[in-house]
Structure 1
Amino acid sequence: MLRQRIITAVILAPLALLGLFGLDGAPFAVFTGGIVALGAWEWANLSGVSAGKARLLFPLTLVVLMLLAGMSDGLEARWPLYLAAMAWAINLRWVMRYPAASQEWRAIGVRLGVGALALLPTWFGLIQLKAGGAEWLLYVLLMVWAADIGAYFSGKRFGKRKLAPRVSPGKSWEGVYGGLVATGLLATGYALAGQADWLPLLVVTLGVTAVSVLGDLLESMFKRERKLKDSSQLLPGHGGIMDRIDSLTAAVPMFALLLPWILGGGA
């Protein structure tokens, strides 16, 4: 398993970095759209659609929605980001009240809708972050990685109080605090480097870090409901695309929404 993970990482990491930071404009939109489409293919299975042809319908529908939204309102449209903010507020209720509130989202159509409201704004957020400067796209990636690392070590050392035991028994409040400390240090470092004023960057970073945890929990809830360990086996040794971008589906649109406030232009 470890050998498989290393081989996959060695092959995919350079390709991901090249796509995210070596492409601009339409090629970048196509590259990130492809990642989102693969995530949608996995989400269809998480929603209960496992048959081959039927499973392809959701990613194809999402691609059409991306094209229509991009052509009608432009890739700088803000409404998908506001829509994501409302969707994640609802997702919070479902995650924290699982399984009591599960009857509200168990219908396949609702679960597909949840996926669309997670993935479509992520695509818009990635494009808008890249347009605002590659350093902010890099920042969001570093923020999610720092949160994961901080949560892992803090949770392993101090974890006692379970965050959402019925959704993800391994996560603890102490792990969340460790992730917040790690991303707070990242924000401080970025501010010292002159990228933005410290206070607005810190406030947004801590808020988005908290929301990114919800992205992880939401996918865990859907996998638990479907009795799946991974979203797919697309990435040998690493699971699926959604297993790698679940936190980003919450962090990217929320950070893109608040970036103008960080830069002093208002959201």
Structure 2
Amino acid sequence: MLKERVWTAVLLAPLVLAGLFLSSFDVFKLFVAAIILLAAWEWANLSALSAPAVRFAYTSLIAALMAALNYYSPDALFGRVLPVAVIFWGLAAYWVVRYPSAKGWQATWQRALIGVLVLTSSWMALVSLHHLPRGGVLLLMLLLLVWGADIGAYFAGKTWGHAKLAPNVSPGKTRAGLWGGLASCALISLCFVFYLELDLLTGVYLLLMAMIAGLASVLGDLFESMLKRHRGIKDSSRLLPGHGGILDRIDSITAAAPVFVVGLQLIAVG
């Protein structure tokens, strides 16, 4: 299992990094859209839309929405949709904390509708971030924050983890892991504050945004775990050997990206 995970990561990492940082803006949009569409196929199953024809229709709907958003003045639309996504993740936090008693997400149509918002807003956030003057640097920062939160949580949880973070949703996550992940985010953000040569106030704000994005990344992971637990499956798919599905790899980004981008809109970092 570990060998599969390592080899999959080694083979995919150069492709992903090239798609994110070595492509033109138009190619980048298509590259991210392709990843989102693979995730949409998996989200359809999480919503109990298991028939191939229905899953194809759901994925096609996501594709049509992304194409429409890209065509009709994306900057203006993105500015309206992304704050809605941030508000949604506040509601998602309530559902995770109150699972399994909280209502409002269990029905097939509710989960499907949530997927439309989560997946399209993720695409919009990454596209918006890439389009900024310092978009490449900020995109790298976002990815490092997500990865750092995960790696820091793993090692802190292994070393000090006893108290569970959300036992009903994901028994493996611990409170110590959460703090370890946030500590990693703080260190990463400080490196970028110095690299970008930000003034004190802007630097403190970016540090705060990094911590919030780190929390959001944990929430994205927990929310997908909640959906999988409700659906009775372990992984979103078996597309990536040893890693599960696309959603299992980008669940943290789906929450962290909109939160990070909306936060950046308030300061002159990009």
Secondary structure of the 1:163 match is strand
Q: Structure 2: how far apart are the matches of 1:181 and 1:12? A: 27
One-letter code aligned to 2:91 = I
Across the two proteins, how many residue pairs are aligned to each other?
264
Q: Which moved more, 1:75-84 or 1:109-118?
A: 75-84
Q: Structure 2: how far apart are the matches of 1:194 and 1:123? A: 25
> TM-score, normalised to structure 2's length?
0.93
Task: State, as a whole percentage, how many aligned pairs show the same letter.
Answer: 45
Q: 184, 188, 191: which is aligned to 1:189? A: 191
Secondary structure of the 1:49 match is coil
List per-residue Cα deviations over 1:174-212 (Å, max 9, x = no partner).
Answer: 111111111101111111223534201111111111111
Question: Aligned pair in 2 of structure 1 residues 8, 96: CA closer, same or farther (>3 Å)?
Answer: same
Question: Aligned pair in 2 of structure 1 residues 264, 239: CA closer, same or farther (>3 Å)?
Answer: closer
Written as runs of structure 1 = structure 2, the 5 A alignment for 1:40-119 is 40-75=40-75, 77-101=78-102, 103-119=103-119
Any gaps of 5 or more consecutive residues in structure 2?
none
Secondary structure of the 2:173 match is strand
Tell whether the 8 Å contact from 1:75 to 1:127 is kept in structure 2 after alignment. no
Secondary structure of the 1:4 match is helix
How far off is 1:23 after superposition? 1.2
Any gaps of 5 or more consecutive residues in structure 1?
none
1:39 is matched with 39
How far off is 1:75 after superposition? 4.6
List per-residue Cα deviations over 1:67-100 (Å, max 9, x = no partner).
Answer: 1122223256212211111111111111111100
1:167 is matched with 169
Q: Structure 2: how far apart are the matches of 1:174 and 1:80? A: 34
Q: Cα RMSD (Å) of the superposition? A: 1.5
Q: Structure 2: how far apart are the matches of 1:75 and 1:36? A: 19
List per-residue Cα deviations over 1:100-150 (Å, max 9, x = no partner).
Answer: 01x421111100111111111110111111111200000000001111111
Secondary structure of the 2:89 match is helix
How far off is 1:4 after superposition? 2.4
Secondary structure of the 2:172 match is strand
Secondary structure of the 2:72 match is helix
How far off is 1:9 after superposition? 2.0
Tell whether the 8 Å contact from 1:75 to 1:124 is kept in structure 2 after alignment. no
